[in-house]
Structures are given as structure tokens and as C-alpha cells.
Amino acid sequence: VPGGMGTFDVLMILGMSQLSVRQDVAVVWLLYYRVFYYVLPFLTGLLLFITHTGVKINRFLDNIPRLFFQKVAHIVLVSAVYFAGIMMVLLSTITNLSAISRLFQVLLPFSFNFLDQTLNLLVVFLLLVVARALSVKVIKLFLPTIAFLVFGILNT
């Protein structure tokens, strides 16, 4: 089948093996080629289509979907910050909790014992305060929240 997908792949594998490239490496590079040539443009087009259609739907429904998604994103953000704070409190106060509880083994499979419990508790209480402030929509706390979360992740 001239011009078929399988023909190109076979010829590329044979040609690369003539250039002393192993066949498994050639197959991996062909998979990368297929992903970037077919899948990435498709996903880009799909994202642009969804964005364009979403703008039209949002205009048609008088900005109601945008407000709904903002509310949902706000609830998810506040819940995630509270969850991070509560998890850090539990893991800082109860030693080896991840070794005892199966739930924590699933949630945090790579947890380590904290080096400094006091600093972690300080970060936790700051996260809980920030989560409360985010729940009442204090806009200026979005960047400090990200900074606290990154510091908490790096500290643990």
C-alpha cells in the first residue's frame, strides 16, 4: 500500500537500523513522531473548538456558565487548601501515620518523616488562615497561597 502508515513505519525502522539505531529506539521515536504529528494538533484543535464554542454559549446564556465555573473553581481551590492544611497537621502531629493507616498509604505513598515539625505546623496554620480568607474571596491572597503551598511541598 503506497503511502500507507505502516509502510512509512516499516521503512523508517529498517532505515534507522541501517544507521545502527536499535529497533526499540526507532519504534519509540516513531511513536513520538506520531504523537506530535497526529495527536498534538488534534488536541490543539479540540481545545480551540471548545474555547470558541464556550465563548458563544457563554454569550448566548448571558455569562451564566462562566459564573458557574468560577464558583466551582473557587470551591475546589478552597477545599484543596483546607485538605492540604489538614493533611499536614495530621502528618506532623501523628508520627508514622502513613505507616499505620491504609488511607494515608493510598493518599500519600511517598511520605517521609518531617525534619522540623514546628515549621510545618506554622505553615499549616498559615494555610488554614489563607483558606479561610480565600473562602471569603480575598483576591490578594492567591499568590501567597501558591507560595505557601510550594513551601509546604518543598519542606515536606
pLDDT tens for the 156 residues of the chain, in order: 566 667 888 888 999 999 999 999 999 999 999 889 889 999 999 999 999 999 999 999 999 999 999 999 989 988 888 887 787 777 767 766 656 667 666 666 555 544 456 677 777 788 888 888 888 888 788 888 888 788 877 766
DSSP characters over 104-153: HHHH-TT----S-HHHHHHHHHHHHHHHHHHHTT-GGGHHHHHHHHHHHH
The Cα-based distances of 29 to 6, 11, 120 in angstroms read 15, 13, 44
pLDDT of amino acid 107: 62
Boundaries of every domain in the chain: 5-60, 64-155
Give the C-alpha separation, 103 to 97, whole Å. 10
pLDDT of amino acid 72: 95
Q: Which amino acid is at 3?
A: G
Give the C-alpha separation, 146 to 78, whole Å. 12
Q: Each residue of 78-94: b (16+ CB within 10 Å) or e?
A: beebbebbebbbebbee
| Global model pTM greater than 0.95 | no
Cα angle value 60/68/43 (rounded, 5°): 75
